[in-house]
Structure 1
Amino acid sequence: MRLNCMIHCALVGTTLADADFNSVRRRLRKDMSGRGGDPPGKYFHESIFHPHYDGRFADRVLEYSEQKRALKSLIQTYLSTFADIGVETWLMHGSLLGWWWNRQIMPWDSDIDVQVLEPGMYYLAAYYNMSVFHYKTPRLPDGRDYLLEVNPHYTNRDRSDWLNVIDARWIDTETGLFIDITTARYDPGHSAGEGVLTSKDGHEYRDTYLYPLRDTMFEGAPAKIPYRFREILEAEYGASALVNKDFHDHEFDDEKMEWVPKMMMTKNS
């Protein structure tokens, strides 16, 4: 797989105000984000029609197959970009669970979750915040723009900042789909002692669970996962999530190594 990328503009610098519709708008005439109804102090505003779409760039939920294709391009371009700029990142949460099953995004999952360490987030904010990356791929022959946006509240380490648990996003400016990027921060005062990493969304684990990161593939692109991925997944989802082949109106086909909608299996039976 070859991805061609060019950073073609930096929109604005870091600011305590959110990047509103008029400053980033592309093709939409109306702002479909929920910024008007969100609490003061919240930076990222999900769309009014779906929590995993950015309403500054989209006004509808994509069809099932179209969304799968867009998410695949989203993670491929993200992983390629972060490898190029030298920021270490790894899969977490539902995306790590998708990796466990077949190295792919689970088809009912409409967002992607990754993490970076705190120094990496500071680096992104200093040098790449509001940068637009243009990619051409076999699926996107005309090219597509992806925006890296850092939440200015990333410097607040306090978990009480529940409105801003997402520290940055990698956003598809054509479809509005995005990757949630959270920061893993060392907590020197943790009751469990040294070496504990925490994030503002409430997750925590020892750095020995993370390092050394494992090299792998995800959606056809080089990726990294935590060293003790199984323990992390079982702690978050339970052991059954690693063996249950019937979930969210899909069944896992061992022969095809993919999640198949039950409706499709019924039609083919």
Structure 2
Amino acid sequence: MRISFCQGLLTGAIALNLLILYYVSRAQQQMMEKRRDSGKPPPKKTPLPVSGLGAAGGLAGPVGGGAGGAGNGRNPRVTVLVREFEDFENYVGDVARSFLQRRPEVPFLAVADLVPYPPLALPESARLLVLSPSPDQPPQAHRPEFHVQTEYVLLVPDGVELEQGRQLERLIRELEGEGGGPVRLVATPVLARSAVQCLHLRVSLREWTVTYTPAASGSSGSVCTALRGDAVILMRSEDLFNLSSPLARPLLASLFIQTSLRGWKVKLLEGPCFAASHRPLFSSAHNQWKADSRQREATGRLMRDFGIKRLVQPDGKEQWFGCGKETARCFGTVKDDTPEYLYLERWTPPCCLRALRETTKYVINILETAGVRYWLEGGSLLGAARHQDVIPWDYDVDLGIYLEDVPNCEYLKNLDAGSLVDANGYVWERAVEGDFYRVQYSESNHLHVDLWPFYARNGIMTKDTWTEHRQDVEFPEHFLQPLVPMQFAGITAYGPNNHRAFLELKFGEGVVENPQYPNPTKKRLDRSRL
């Protein structure tokens, strides 16, 4: 009987596996014989590696068991985890005792970035996990997913007490009752603490923006995408540790940014509520100030790590985490007309758009006051036609000006060399690339408006410096006679009198209706996502 190629290949693979199995078995047998000869006991089998420092300064191993009842003494279903606390003053030890007195079978885990000082006074059965790596331990020792063996995790704020053990079962039943739908978390308020607010959260990574809006409450509990305030939260361990940063601080902000991006929702129950310690969380104004300062620092780090530059609060107030007048802009030198953020599938950071709008408004006001005729040029005119604003992925603003009007402006007429910083911190300079002008947002932040001087020759507008940009071409002067007002970046600016024809002359037919990135050969716009 002839053996086919596939049969021969399969036979060879089986033989190779048997050979490998033989040598592995032989190596294990030799190792056991050596251990027996040396008098050492065989190693214990453990499902997980060790973790950080425990209550008494030892090593904390994995916590939890299989999936039994919410707490039957053998197979607890939930691990209590405390993440939000300050090392200089906390009640984590009291929280642990409260839970372990009523539910001693339930694992308790406190998680810190660094070893707390002073040390936590934890009960013997409670454990501390330190997230910062240590050179003498394996990487698993500092990864929280290796230290939780239960089906659920209960995220508990500092200073919370368990009054009734049945509270845990109620939360589990509520979560199980959702049947794997969009509700992947359930929460309950903490009594005597700030009221918990149910919010809707929109996260746009492309726009670097997080927006909170109030959510209406329902009769049997509110379902929303974020919470604000002190709440106890239950979720499946698998869900928690499938997040990219499961325990980043501030915990609620981090948690809900990640869950909302996945389409998950949280259900805020009216009860059972958990009790708070009768003592204030911080005993002095100084410690409260330290806690608030650390919260602000943690929020800033989180937003930088997640690439969030703008946060809109439920009341409409804004927080900015991107560049400002005293810092460098959020992106480096632009290569091939394609800023680096486009490769990250993002658009211009909102702080940069804000700076461009401020600079444009400032420059246009000076030009108009000085009697310098100007018009929106290139991509900026395209933005005005499409959005009445800067194009969402643009990185500068272009204005055309009449060369003969330059002597009318004090900031421009003496810029043959060097630069000047005006009283408001804007930098006016002659561009090193050629005969045009640039106004930068500040000495530190080089977001800018370019001013291109044109002059008429036989009815055609031309200039002395040209770039390789497709739209940088001569055009008839009749487009500027007269100039017409256009809405742009929150102000009324001036543009060519037939902006569509002007743009199609420069960019091609249909350019207004068919947006595209500046250099499609490097990066193309996915119009299906607009």
Tell whether the structures are fold-level matches, with TM greater than 0.5: yes
1:148 equivalenced with 2:148 (yes/no)? no
Separation in 1 of the partners of 2:527 and 2:476? 33
Q: 2:462 aligns with which of 177, 193, 198?
A: 198
- On the 8 A contact 2:372/2:405 being kept in 1, the answer is yes
1:101-116 equivalent positions in 2, closer than 5 A: 101-116=386-401
User: Do the aligned partners of residues 232 and 246 (structure 1) sit closer, same or farther apart at CA in structure 2, a change above 3 Å counting?
Assistant: closer
Q: Which runs of 5+ in 1 are unaligned?
A: 1-25, 33-46, 53-61, 136-144, 153-162, 188-193, 253-261
**Aligned AA for 2:430?**
V
Identity of aligned residues (%): 21
Structure of higher CA gyration radius:
2
Q: TM-score, normalised by structure 2?
A: 0.30
1:236 equivalenced with 2:506 (yes/no)? yes
1:174-221 Cα offsets, whole Å, 9 max, x none, are 42111111111122xxxxxx2111123252111112110001221111
1:55-66 equivalent positions in 2, closer than 5 A: 64-66=349-351
Give the aligned partner of residue 50 of structure 1.
Answer: 334
User: Do the aligned partners of residues 147 and 245 (structure 1) sit closer, same or farther apart at CA in structure 2, a change above 3 Å counting?
Assistant: closer
Tell me by how many angstroms 1:242 deviates.
1.3
- On the 8 A contact 2:400/2:452 being kept in 1, the answer is yes
Give the aligned partner of residue 13 of structure 1.
Answer: none
1:215-252 Cα offsets, whole Å, 9 max, x none, are 12211112100112111100111122111257654659
Give the aligned partner of residue 126 of structure 1.
Answer: 413
Tell me by how many angstroms 1:132 deviates.
3.0
Separation in 2 of the partners of 1:119 and 1:83? 15
Separation in 2 of the partners of 1:122 and 1:48? 33
Q: What SS is found at the alignment partner of 1:110?
A: coil
Q: What SS is found at the alignment partner of 1:212?
A: coil
Q: Which runs of 5+ in 2 are unaligned?
A: 1-324, 338-346, 467-471, 518-523
1:78-97 equivalent positions in 2, closer than 5 A: 78-97=363-382
Give the aligned partner of residue 68 of structure 1.
Answer: 353
User: Do the aligned partners of residues 84 and 250 (structure 1) sit closer, same or farther apart at CA in structure 2, a change above 3 Å counting?
Assistant: farther
**Aligned AA for 2:461?**
L
Give the aligned partner of residue 76 of structure 2.
Answer: none
Give the aligned partner of residue 493 of structure 2.
Answer: 223
Higher strand share goes to which structure?
Answer: 1
User: Do the aligned partners of residues 209 and 186 (structure 1) sit closer, same or farther apart at CA in structure 2, a change above 3 Å counting?
Assistant: same
User: Do the aligned partners of residues 63 and 112 (structure 1) sit closer, same or farther apart at CA in structure 2, a change above 3 Å counting?
Assistant: closer
Q: TM-score, normalised by structure 1?
A: 0.57
Separation in 2 of the partners of 1:169 and 1:236? 22
- On the 8 A contact 1:79/1:221 being kept in 2, the answer is no
- On the 8 A contact 2:376/2:400 being kept in 1, the answer is yes
In the TM superposition, structure 1's runs of 4+ consecutive aligned residues that sit over 2 Å from their partners are 47-52, 121-135, 245-252
